[in-house]
Structure 1
Amino acid sequence: MADHPKEDELTPETTEGFKVGEKKTIDEYQKLDANDESLRKWKASLGLGTGDSISDPNDPRTCIIVSLGLEVEGRPDITIDLSQPGQLETLKSKPFTIKEGAVYRMKVKFKVQNQILSGLKYLQVVKRHGLSQKEQEMLGSYSPNTTDKPFYEKKFSPEEAPSGMLVRGKYTATSKFIDDDNHTHLKFEWTFEIKKDW
């Protein structure tokens, strides 16, 4: 079907010469150069060694997307709580409205567990009338959440919705969260409409 992106459209861009580092366990990172003060500070900035683990050993997922949000200047935030059943289906079947020319940004709330999450990225392909546009946003690397920091929230770069009669209408998008190991943590389809007014 023309509105579904080809799988290669949702492949992350790569940086020439970049190689994913060797995987280490949390314990290996915590014991790494224990007497090195600068490394200790770096590990603390990742959240290693602060608070108690809240990882669920019975849940094999590394990254759990808790909610997605849309912030628009002068409007209440739209938040989709993904812990509620049926929310991903609602994103696809019930488009939300963005006023043409409005400045907006997406945000994501997520939890990391069991191991370090390296190079989390958000990929998106938006389609309308057979034309597509791909976007990628690097979210970063994260340690498992603890009682000191039970969730992470990342706000994306602000964007401006296009304006004019030709851009008004319904758009379909396919998005996914993927890491440096090319593991997809969440993939979903959604729709939105650009309108003259809210």
Structure 2
Amino acid sequence: MEIEEVRSILVNTLTSDIATSHLRVLLLQDANDTRRVVVEEFKVEFEDGRENIVYNLDTLEGVEHMRTTPFVMAEGSRYRFVISFRINQAIVSGLRFRNKVKKTVLSTNDEIVLGSYAPRSENYVFVFPRHEWMEAPSGLFYRGKFMGRFIFVDDDHVEHLKLFYTFEIKRG
């Protein structure tokens, strides 16, 4: 039986068997996509209900758009990042999220251990910070453009994704 026949059977079969369900997820993934961690969306949410800023990262054009198109936030805005990703092909052990933001001499670094993830067709969602909101700095010194970078790396020091972004803090 060829792989395409197996895929066809799995697509047309409903099952509650866990092993078959897991096999179904693995076989129905895009075999040409060799990435193990696929970040599909980067979103900036605001506590005050302001419209979310969303970057779709499932294409190279989306990644380039994020790198070249800064988002704007007002001084003192309370915000958080929401990142949707999926795991392909194999378990990723000890996935970490590293975020660095800098402006001239100012720089901040954050690293958070996300954990280990198994392949599945549904997205995992990571919210940073997990239980609160970050606050954009206020004051003349903090206004202007910032450059950021986030990296997904695992226990084996494999860098699964490195993305650059820019944003601007303006007077509220």
Size of the aligned set, in residue pairs, is: 147
d(CA) in 1 for partners of 2:72 and 2:20?
A: 41
Aligned mates of 2:74, 2:92 — CA distance in 1: 35
Q: Distance in 1 between matches of 2:89 and 2:38?
A: 11
Equivalent of residue 106 in structure 2, options 119, 124, 131: 131
Contact 1:62-1:114 at 8 Å conserved across structures: yes
Using the size of structure 2 for normalisation, the TM-score is 0.77
**1:50 and 1:143 mapped to 2: Cα distance?**
15
- Deviation, 1:55, is 3.0
For structure 2, the 5+ residue unaligned runs are 1-17
What root-mean-square deviation, in Å, do the aligned CA atoms of Structure 1 and Structure 2 show?
1.8
Higher strand share: 2
- Mark the runs of 5 or more structure 1 residues left unpaired by the alignment: 1-47
Distance 1:50 1:177, change over 3 A: farther
Report the Cα distance in structure 2 between the residues aligned to 1:167 and 1:175, rounded to whole angstroms.
Answer: 21
- 8 Å contact kept, 1:56–1:114: no
Give the distance between the partners of 2:20 and 2:171, measured in 1 at CA: 49
CA-CA distance at 1:128 after TM superposition: 0.9
Matching residue of 2:123: 151
- 2:34 corresponds in structure 1 to 60
Gap change, CA 1:57 and 1:94, over 3 Å in 2? closer
For 1:45-83, what per-residue CA distance to the aligned partner results, in whole angstroms no more than 9, with x for missing partners? xxx748331433333221111111111111121111112
Q: Is the 8 A contact 1:103 1:161 kept in 2?
A: yes
Out of 167, 174, 194, the residue aligned to residue 149 of structure 2 is 174
Task: Give TM-score, length-normalised by structure 1.
Answer: 0.68
Match of 1:69 in 2: 43
- Report the identity percentage: 37
Q: 2:44 & 2:34 partners in 1: Cα distance?
A: 29
> What does residue range 2-151 of structure 1 map to in structure 2 within 5 Å?
49=19, 51=21, 52-53=24-25, 54-73=28-47, 74-146=49-121, 150-151=122-123
Kept in 1, the 8 Å contact 2:97–2:152? The answer is yes
Quick check: 1:91–1:190 contact (8 Å CA) kept in 2? yes
Distance 1:167 1:94 in 2: 20
Aligned-partner residue type, residue 63 of structure 1? V
Separation in structure 2 between the aligned mates of residue 156 and residue 131 of structure 1, nearest angstrom = 20
1:82-120 deviation digits (Å, cap 9, x = unpaired): 124422222222211111111110011111121111121
Matched residue SS, 2:115: strand
What is the SS of the residue equivalent to 1:86?
A: helix
